[in-house]
Homo-oligomer: A and B are copies of this chain.
Amino acid sequence: MTHTFPVRVYYEDTDMGGIVYHANYLRYIERARSDWVRGLGNDQNAMRDAGVIWVAQRVEADYLASAKYDDELMVATEVIKVTPARLIMGQVVTRGETVLFRAKVTAVCVAAEGGRPTRLPAEIRALL
């Protein structure tokens, strides 16, 4: 099952090359992940109040084509693998039929203080 999330490119996203600054794709796909886990019932404010946060552990990203100001993009997110402690997702950013960006992201949950790994939220482990 694929979660989709629209992103519009604004001035803030561009750089002097006239295209979206490369690091901003990580922000786009993080918005999509946040939207997806919210839909599953995962409340990141409540998690943080309980001292637990999501963090990226590994990102593999391929930049295939560039996006410009005003482009309407779509972020597609799929689960590749869930373990009790780790969530691996495939994420693709497209503009119409064109694939612009592709990433494989491993996310884990850690204690905000100290960074010790913890189990994933129940809503996510339910995907196992």
Contact = CB atoms under 8 A, between A and B. Distances in A.
A112 B27 contact: no
A61 interface: yes
A71 B45 CA distance: 10
B31 A22 contact: no
Contacts of A19: 16, 53, 55, 112
Interface on chain A toward B: helix, strand, loop, or mixed SS? mixed
Chain A interface category by residue count:
35 or more
Q: Which of A11, A30, A44, A48 has the most B CB atoms < 10 Å from its CB? A: A11
Nearest to A38: B70
A21 interface: yes
Given A26-B23, A63-B55, A14 B16 contact: yes
